[in-house]
Amino acid sequence: MIIYVVIFSILAVLLVASALFAIIQKDLLYAVIATGVISLILSVMFFILQAPDVALTEAAIGIALTTIVFVITIRNTTRNEDEKEINSK
């Protein structure tokens, strides 16, 4: 099944790309959205690796709950990594 080879490599590249994005971005909100995306991709990967339970857990914990916890933290602290003023776009 060559298609899975392709899918796996695409997902792997996207996973690493969004991880790098999460680390490099100065705007923490982008980093948080990126962790959401990482959870999303990971969840698909778990699904293909025949682990539906884990995919479910990763989706349930990673996409919604982790995101809200991070977002609340950003709300209560600062949105920019270097704590400079940024316009809120």
Q: Considering only residues 26-85, where is the footprint of another protein by CB under 8 A?
A: 27-78, 81-83, 85
Nearest distance in Å: CB 86, another protein: 9
CA distances from 28 to 9, 20, 35, 89 (A): 28, 13, 11, 13
Asked if 4 is part of the footprint of another protein (rule: CB under 8 A), the reply reads: yes
Yes or no: say if 80 and 31 are a contact pair by the CB < 8 Å rule: no
Q: Which value, to the nearest 10 degrees, does the dihedral of the CA atoms of residues 51, 56, 58, 60 take?
A: -170
Query: Minimum distance from CB of 49 to another protein (Å)?
Result: 5
Residue 20: CB minimum distance to another protein, A: 6
- Minimal distance, residue 36 CB to another protein, in Å: 6
Question: The tokens of 83 are what?
Answer: 């704590």
Site residue total, another protein (CB under 8 A)? 81
Strand partners, 80: 27
